[in-house]
Chains A and B, each alone.
Chain A
Amino acid sequence: MKRALIVFGAWTAVAFLFAIQMHYQVVSQGNERTWGWIIAWQLAGWWSWALFTAPVCAFAAWAVRIRRPAALIAAHLPMALAIGVACAGSEGFVKWALGLYRTPHTFATGITDSVAMYWTFNLLVYAMVAGLYHAWRAARLEMQLVQARLDALVGQLQPHFLFNTLHTISAFVLEDPKQANRMITRLSELLRQSFNRERGPLVTLEEELELLDHYVAIQEARFGDRLRVTFRVDPRAAAAVVPTLLLQPLVENAIRYGVVPNGGVAEVEIAATREGDRLHLQVRDNGPGVNGDKRVDGNGAEAGSGLGIANTRARLQELYGAGHRFDLTNAPAPTRGALATIEIPYSDNARDHR
């Protein structure tokens, strides 16, 4: 509704600009028209465009899947002709119906005259509308990707994770210096990979799992016997291209809600398999599970699904659209706990995705 009002308002403004121009044009030619007639004349044209803006944008939205610029223009051309003619026709009809023509016109000539007069001009208007749509979408996409990357990095380097890890290291320094050293090495490796600016929005599953391995080793040192993490990775999936830091927030949540302090051992399983052209990723824990989209905490209360999960969802939607699946559900009986499942198209070539 808000969007419709903006479109309508913008075209009304255009109509008034053209009305001013038309007024001086009429005067310079020694003719006389009232402002009312001029404004009605312009509105008949530009409000027609207000009606046709939605179909132009809808078509442009469909056409974004066409990657080659030449093919994109070729696809728009017949649409531009069709809409240009239709818009000029509806403008002619309105002018005839309101009696704005100064010479006698029938229903048919009212329309045909308008089409003959405006179809070329309307091609330009169409190009402007479609061009604006594509520019707006590209800008929005860029912004979302930048935001997702920032969120992911910030999530990775949550200060409390860093400080808790340093605290654990400080505990090991005296009692087990070798373990302290191992943790410092792991943490450094994790930081090095997170700080790496060349790590793009997409990495191979192997790289993602390597980072995850450091993260998990640190968490295992923190929680000791109370946490057991296993990796089950299909070797045919290792080269798959995945969004960077895709699994880390899922594993972080699995550990956070899986380590229930009633004496049990938290078990987290990370699995990756490939079936034909699909990549399946799973993170499973044995914690209290989920309720709808929300995690359940140790008291059975809903605990929210976390920023990391929302970010993961948004990035998958942006990169794969309808081609992905992301579910956070309870593991099927008799096991318990939460099960995060991601399914994306298998690809081992980063260029397939922008």
Chain B
Amino acid sequence: MRAIIVDDEAPARRRLRGVLQQINTVTRIDECASGRDAVELLKRGAPDLVFLDIQMPDLDGFAVAAAASEERPPAIVFVTAYDEHAVRAFEIQAFDYLLKPFDDERVIATVKRAEDFLEWIRREQSGDAGAPVMRGFGDVTVDFATHRVRRAGKLAELRPKEYALLVALLRRGGRVASRLELLREVWGYAEDVMSRTVDTHVAMLRRKLEHDPAHPRHIVTVRTFGYRIER
């Protein structure tokens, strides 16, 4: 994977480079010190992963993200000291949101999930006949052809809405889905008056598919925003 680091502070770029160098699937790392250079590099470099600082003096991270290719979208990870932009970041389909300072494990986990996500959406986009009909996490497998969900080989009984919710989450390949998005997609509501509905169905899914529903490892809550699947 090709990664770009965009940050106006050199030590901050070195910090992230240091972590990415430990991951052998990251084959190339480019750095930019400004938003404008980043836009340039996004066009030329066709990156897979973009780590974006938000507060930069020329173009902010959101302006840079808007310049990303739509045909071959990279996984965009915002890296910032501000926690107040997270909702906006996920609304523009950011893959993740890292708060400075971070530890190595957090970055490595993000890159692993991004790998998964990129593979998934690129297959979807190419309309590849070999697109997987099976998908899952942990010991759970989902067969999209037969709508069957198995856990450790045993059939799990899911109600239709629960199945639809699970598919909606899986289709994002590890990217976060907001409650509102899920509500629109699964229930077709246009308003978020019933966002509790999503939470109760997620709770049901966890009870059926997680080992320890109180401490879910695969159907993860993203605070104040929504949910995502972790493999």
Contacts and interface: CB of A to CB of B under 8 A. Distances in A.
A297 to B, nearest CB: 6
A299 B37 CA distance: 13
A83 to B, nearest CB: 55
A164 B34 contact: no
Interface string A149-170: 0000000000111111011111
A259 B56 CA distance: 10
B14 A261 contact: no
A174 interface: yes
B58 A298 contact: yes
A17 B9 CA distance: 69
Interface string B195-226: 00000000000000000000000000000000
Contact of B81 (A164, A260, A299): A164
Given A164-B81, A260-B57, A224 B101 contact: no
A21 B58 CA distance: 71
Given A160-B81, A221-B11, A166 B101 contact: yes
A260 B58 contact: yes
B33 to A, nearest CB: 5
A224 B59 contact: no
Given A171-B11, A259-B8, A261-B8, A160 B82 contact: yes
Contact of A166 (B34, B35, B57, B100): B100
A170 B101 contact: yes
A302 to B, nearest CB: 14
A224 B10 contact: yes
A222 B33 CA distance: 13
Majority SS at the chain B contact face: loop
B101 A163 contact: yes
B34 A223 contact: no
B15 A171 contact: yes
Contacts of A46: none
Contacts of A226: 10
B46 interface: no
Contact of B11 (A159, A222, A257): A222
A167 B36 CA distance: 23
A193 to B, nearest CB: 22
B19 to A, nearest CB: 10
A223 B57 contact: no
A261 B58 contact: yes
Contacts of A159: 81
A257 B61 CA distance: 16
A163 B99 contact: yes
Nearest to B16: A171
Nearest to A180: B11
B56 A261 contact: yes
Contact of B12 (A160, A167, A257, A298): A167
A199 interface: no
A256 interface: yes
B82 A167 contact: no
B55 interface: yes
A262 interface: yes
A18 interface: no
A313 to B, nearest CB: 23
12 contacts: A160-B81, A161-B81, A163-B100, A164-B12, A164-B100, A166-B101, A167-B12, A167-B102, A223-B8, A261-B33, A262-B34, A298-B59
Interface of A: 159-164, 166-172, 174-175, 221-224, 226, 256-257, 259-262, 297-299
Given A160-B55, A167-B100, 4 more contacts: A169-B101, A261-B57, A262-B58, A298-B36
List the 5 shortest-distance A-B pairs measured between CB atoms, nearest first.
A261-B34, A298-B58, A171-B15, A163-B81, A167-B100
